[in-house]
Each structure stands twice: as C-alpha cells, then as structure tokens.
C-alpha cells in the first residue's frame, strides 16, 4: 500500500524567508511524485512533478523539490516566499502502473506573514 | 478548464445526490476524489472512455457515469453524515500514472 506523510500541518513564515515543506512516502513499488497547491475556494493545481531523470525539479514560480530515493522523501523548498504563496500544499504519489490514482498526504497550510 | 456544479449543496441523511463535472476538452479520463475537512483528497474512482477503470475504498452507494461529451456525474445514495466533504473531479488526457490531473474547484456537500 502507498502512504504519504506530510509532517507539518501548518508552517508560518515571514515574507522573503526560506521555507521547506516536508513529504515522505512509503511504497514497495516505483512511484511518481507530485506537489499540488490549493488556494482558498479553488481546486488543486499542479506545482511540479518528478517522473524520472534529474532528481531536482522546479516550478515556474520559484519552488523546487528533490526526489531522494534512499530517504523516500520529496521535500518542497523555496528560498524566498511571497504573501501570495499562502495556500495549502499537498504532496501526492502515483504507482508506476497504468492507473493514475493519486495518493495524497494530509496537506500543509503555508501562511506567509508580512 | 474543469468545471463542477453545484458549488455548494445541503442534503439530509438518507437522501441521494448527483454532482456534475465538465472535463477539459480532449481529456478522456475523469477521476473523483473526496476531501474531508482537514484531510487530503481520497480517490473514489476513475472513468476512462465511459467505463469505470479503478475504484478506491468506497461503498457501492458511490457510483458514477461518464458521457461522450466530456461531462461526468458522481451519484451518492443513502447519504450519511460522514459523506459531508468537498468533492473534486479531475480530468487527464489518458489516466496514466504520469499524467497531470486537472482539478475542478469542487462541490461542497453538507449532510445534515
């Protein structure tokens, strides 16, 4: 079975500070890894994903995540956050099979203060 | 993009409800997820070319339909209080595990 653990339910930070949102997964098979973001009253939007190749993946708005197979982690980082980054962030995995079933973590609420 | 209707819905225990979703054009796969308060979304089922293609740990009173015109429905019979949640639909090009799923804004269901 797959499970995704997001260790922090809430992360408050000040504007322009760095942030790391942690994600660990457990799986006996190969997985693909995703970070989705959910702004208030909106659906989930893909932030970035790791399928294969370089273990460091980046989004267009400055976030990056590194796949670490030995530690089964896919932590999300940003060197300098903005107030507009305030949202709920979900880590998710799919199995390396044909069905695109997403297994989500419980989410981390990132709140950026001025 | 993906749209869902209605935005909010209030029902009483034992009633039936139908939620609707319009997929992104050209996508032939739709998945439905239930997001309880404070939790991550849980997979209900996936439809590919109008047939159920996989199901999560939800009872048979949760059923769905997918139509040729990029629309789909989630039906829930005999509503229970624990069915109160945000219901999300997501469409993708082929439903594969590497696909990006595009989510709608959700329908907030409250069961009293």
pLDDT, tens only, B50-97: 999 899 999 999 999 999 888 999 999 999 999 999 999 999 988 788
Mean pLDDT value across residues A32-46? 92
Is the pLDDT at A30 greater than 80? The verdict is no
Cross-chain residue pair B29–A100, CB shorter than 8 Å: yes
**SS3 of B69, please?**
coil
Cis ω for the linkage preceding B6 (within 30 of 0): yes
Tell me the nearest-neighbour CA distance from A11 into chain B, angstroms. Answer: 15
pLDDT for residue B112: 96
**Distance to chain B for A9, nearest Cα, Å:** 9
| Number of A–B residue contacts, CB under 8 Å | 74
Q: Do A90 and B54 count as a contact with CB atoms less than 8 A apart?
A: no
User: Per residue in A93-111, pLDDT tens?
Assistant: 998 766 788 999 999 999 9
By residue count, chain B amounts to: 112
């Amino acid at each position: 079975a797959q499970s995704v653990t997001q260790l922090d339910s809430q992360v408050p930070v000040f504007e322009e500070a760095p942030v790391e949102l942690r994600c660990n997964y457990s799986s006996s098979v190969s997985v693909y890894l995703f970070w989705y973001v959910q702004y208030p009253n909106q659906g989930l939007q893909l932030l970035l994903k790791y399928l294969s190749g370089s273990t460091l993946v980046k989004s267009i708005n400055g976030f990056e995540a590194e796949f670490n197979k030995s530690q089964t982690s896919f932590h999300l980082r940003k060197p300098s956050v903005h107030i507009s980054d305030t949202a709920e962030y979900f880590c998710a995995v799919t199995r390396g099979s044909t069905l695109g079933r997403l297994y989500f973590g419980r989410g981390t609420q990132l709140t950026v203060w001025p | 993009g993906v749209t869902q209707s209605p935005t909010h819905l209030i029902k009483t225990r034992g009633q039936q409800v139908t939620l609707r979703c319009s997929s992104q054009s050209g996508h032939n796969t739709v998945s439905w997820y239930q997001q309880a308060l404070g939790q991550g979304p849980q997979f209900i089922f996936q439809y590919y070319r109008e047939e159920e293609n996989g199901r999560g740990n939800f009872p048979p009173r949760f059923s769905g339909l997918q139509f040729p015109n990029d629309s789909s429905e989630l039906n829930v019979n005999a509503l229970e209080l624990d069915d109160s949640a945000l219901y999300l639909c997501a469409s993708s090009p082929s439903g594969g595990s590497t696909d990006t799923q595009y989510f709608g804004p959700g329908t907030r269901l409250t069961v009293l």
